[in-house]
Amino acid sequence: MDQESAAASGGSLISLTDHEQRFYSGLHALCQADAPGKLSSGKVAELFKASQLPPEALHKVTEVCGAKHLGYFGTAQFYIALKLLAAAQSGLPIRLESVSGNLPLPRFAGLKNEPESRHAAAPPGADPQGSAPGSVARNPADRSTFRHLEASAEKKEPWSPPRSPCSSPPRSPLAYRGYPYSKQRNGVDAQIPYDNKPSSRPGAQLEQHSSPSRYVSKPAVEHPAMARASSTERLNQQATMNYSDDDPWRMTAEQLEYYTNQFKSLQPDLGALILGAVAKNFFTKSKLPIPELSHIWELSDVDRDGALTFTEFCIAFHLIVARKNGYPLPESLPPTLQPGFSQREEEQIPDTPESLEPLIVFEDAEPRSCQVDPSGIGRLEPSVATRKQDLQGESLKQDTSVKRLASSREKSTLQLGAFPERPEPHLELDPQMRTKTRQRSYSSTSIEDAIKKAEEPPTPPPRPQKTHSRASSLDLNKLFQQGAPGVKSGWLLPPALPPRPPTSQVPHFLNVSEQASQAKVQQPNFADFSHFREEEESSVKLEEQGPSSRFGLSSEDLTSASKQDVSGTPHSQAPQKPIRRKYHPESQNLETGPPPPPPPAMPFPPPAKPSQKLLSRQKREIQMAIRKNRETNAVLRRLNSELQQQLKVVHKERVTLESQLELLRPLAST
């Protein structure tokens, strides 16, 4: 009788849903039997144990399903038993009547459930009835909780993959829902979305068993099913640990969308920057402690400009969300979060299939997960697949994985693809700018270094502007007055010029021209061409000692010139001829009629005196000198015009100051 009833019940009661059917048949296959129709009791016992129900319950199940009577588990009995197990796990009494309800799939810890995973894939989708209302109810709850944590609207799902088949969604909805909320740890909210997903059930189970500190425990449950025999907790933690670098740090499309909206609320233009203060206020609302926010800022402000571009903002937001969900902050940006992540994503896909779990979705995107294609599952590791199904909440994450699977998440792909590109130019620009500004800040030190330590080769100037300022030219004047060694002037002046091969004469030209520009202020300097002459020779000597390559050519020239100087004065004068000639136009420009430098006054010893050899050499050298001088001439003309302008400006200022002084004087006197 009982058997019959059992059989009958088996027949009638077994109105398995599709995925249940598959699940059960998978299990059935697992426990495959000695004899056809009879399941191996050992395997069945194992299965029952894996369901983690107390032994009395198991006994009851066996009894109720009729196997006891039969002495073995037939298919029908097995199915009934499974249903009863599910009921028991959901907290319903173990009776035949309970079998008729819609139950979640029974969960079995520690079983290698490939078939289950496959089924799990299906079930989540198929498991609508129980879960649908639950999930619907949940969604609003989730949403509200989400709203709570503004920033943490997205939570990432830490776990990764492991999914166990248990996936079957169903759960005692109430128990489930209650559980995550009560478990609120670091934003269990994140779990809420998960709750919607089938996995919730296993999660509930697991949580009951262990004290999973993380909401991740849910996935953990699945892990065991995946053949991890360890406790859920352990699994959970392992899972989270392993994947914490990948999964939580990967942004899903929905998250990106959310971030975009938030960004727009702060700064309508997506290409612009959010200022530091604005971002600070916004992130402070997330109620994370300030040192952590500070650390997050350090991680996310990649270009170090004190403001956030869109990408940086997303990174920061993402980190905040992760932190709120309990992830420890990384010491450095995880690769998936770095600004170029979208490109890397493709590469990483094969590497970390499990990292499909990205994140917390902040909405329940059930429908998507439901569709996790079985095909996809086949491609991915089963864990991933099951995960996907289990965690429909993670559909977002799964999106990324699905993307990889080439399932239809084009939109997410597009979204993800679109975003990184834009901010990247910002990033590229900013670091450059940053480094430039950085360099500038140290320029003054190097200038001083050059002055003070002659032995150090002058650092090539990124500071040409600075040296052009009046202050620097005043300095130069001071140096000249002090009779500073020509090297200093030589060293300093080239920075002022574009570093073309300045002959030693160039500094002199510069000196003179700058002096000339100061002519109004310091007339004597300008007229001091003898000074100039000394400079030249001293610089020549110094250049003979050697260093700068810039002076290489000119030094050669000058050294030869100086040698010849020694040999015969005419030679040294020859190079001076061009100088002198150049001086004239410049001096005219400067409206000072500098007396022709002494050299011109010097007698012009006829070149005829030296021998023919000397003559030709001189000619060659003269020609070279002429060429160089022409170049320097052009440079100096430019410099001259600039200095002229500066002079005008200064002059105007002086005039205004004088007029002010005049105005004040009568007041002072009275």
Question: Where does this chain bind other proteins (CB under 8 A)?
Answer: 276-277, 279-280, 283, 290-291, 293-295, 297-298, 301, 304-306, 331, 438, 441-442, 444-445, 447-448, 466, 469, 471, 475
Q: How many CB atoms lie within 10 A of CB 362?
A: 29
Backbone angles phi, psi at 550, to 5 degrees: -60, -35
Q: Which is nearer to other proteins, 440 or 620 (CB)?
A: 440
- Cα separation, 351 vs 589, in Å, equals 71
> Does residue 324 contact residue 354 with C-beta atoms inside 8 Å?
no
- Cα separation, 58 vs 42, in Å, equals 14
* Nearest distance, CB of residue 512 and other proteins, angstroms: 23
* Nearest distance, CB of residue 340 and other proteins, angstroms: 20
Tell me if residue 536 falls in helix, strand or coil: helix
Q: Which is nearer to other proteins, 62 or 152 (CB)?
A: 152
- Cα separation, 443 vs 436, in Å, equals 11
- Cα separation, 63 vs 70, in Å, equals 10
- Cα separation, 297 vs 311, in Å, equals 13
* Nearest distance, CB of residue 479 and other proteins, angstroms: 12
> Does residue 486 contact residue 542 with C-beta atoms inside 8 Å?
yes
- Cα separation, 271 vs 419, in Å, equals 10
Q: Which is nearer to other proteins, 276 or 607 (CB)?
A: 276
Tell me if residue 463 falls in helix, strand or coil: coil
* Nearest distance, CB of residue 324 and other proteins, angstroms: 16
Q: Which of 300, 260, 302 is nearest to 280 (CA)?
A: 300
Q: Which is nearer to other proteins, 280 or 584 (CB)?
A: 280
* Nearest distance, CB of residue 182 and other proteins, angstroms: 33
C-alpha 490, offset from chain centre: 45
- Cα separation, 225 vs 238, in Å, equals 15
Q: Which is nearer to other proteins, 227 or 451 (CB)?
A: 451
Q: Which is nearer to other proteins, 290 or 664 (CB)?
A: 290
* Nearest distance, CB of residue 189 and other proteins, angstroms: 24
Q: Which of 37, 196, 241, 208 is nearest to 109 (CA)?
A: 208
Residue 327 makes CB contacts below 8 A (sequence gap 6+) with 156, 158, 240, 244, 248
Angstrom CA distances, 191 to 233, 286, 362, 450, stand at 16, 18, 9, 63
- By CB atoms closer than 10 A (0-12, 13-18, 19+), residue 28 is buried
* Nearest distance, CB of residue 267 and other proteins, angstroms: 15
* Nearest distance, CB of residue 384 and other proteins, angstroms: 34
* Nearest distance, CB of residue 502 and other proteins, angstroms: 23
Q: Which is nearer to other proteins, 116 or 305 (CB)?
A: 305
Q: Which is nearer to other proteins, 369 or 443 (CB)?
A: 443
Q: Which is nearer to other proteins, 441 or 482 (CB)?
A: 441
Q: Which uninterrupted H or E stretch holds 600?
A: helix 598-601
* Nearest distance, CB of residue 291 and other proteins, angstroms: 6
Q: Which is nearer to other proteins, 210 or 459 (CB)?
A: 459
Q: Which value, in Å, is the radius of gyration of the alpha carbons in the chain? A: 42
